[in-house]
């Protein structure tokens, strides 16, 4: 997983409940759950995949081996929804 970027039609904001994503192209919006918000933030900070896994596993208090499939699932979901390039 390298060079993941947000699509140009996506905007997002942080509020007290987490991250809120909107797709300007089709008018859809969604609020990310807390754990997904962490992954979104780490992706935007352009961490390497290894760094992302280590930081995320530390934050949610799990092993990197358990964190990696969670991250891959999120990224796959966001790519299929057109949020990421």
List per-residue pLDDT tens for the chain, 85 residues long: 556 788 889 999 988 888 999 988 888 889 999 889 999 999 888 778 899 999 999 999 999 999 999 999 999 999 998 898 8
What pLDDT does 2 receive? 59
Identify the domain containing residue 76 by its residue range: 10-80
**CA gap 23, 29 in Å, rounded:** 6
What pLDDT does 19 receive? 92
Q: Has residue 71 been placed in a domain?
A: yes
Q: Has residue 4 been placed in a domain?
A: no
**CA gap 39, 42 in Å, rounded:** 5
Q: Has residue 70 been placed in a domain?
A: yes
Tokens representing 45 are 């900070």
What pLDDT does 24 receive? 86
Find the angle CA(49)-CA(61)-CA(70) to the nearest 5 degrees.
Answer: 45
């Amino acid at each position: 997983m390298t060079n993941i970027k947000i699509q140009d039609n996506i905007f997002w904001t942080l509020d007290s409940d987490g991250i809120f994503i909107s797709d300007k192209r089709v008018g859809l919006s969604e609020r990310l759950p807390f754990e997904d918000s962490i992954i979104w933030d780490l992706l935007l900070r352009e961490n390497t995949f290894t760094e992302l896994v280590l930081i995320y596993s530390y934050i949610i208090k799990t092993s990197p081996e358990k964190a990696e499939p969670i991250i891959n699932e999120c990224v796959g979901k966001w790519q299929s929804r057109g949020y990421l390039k």
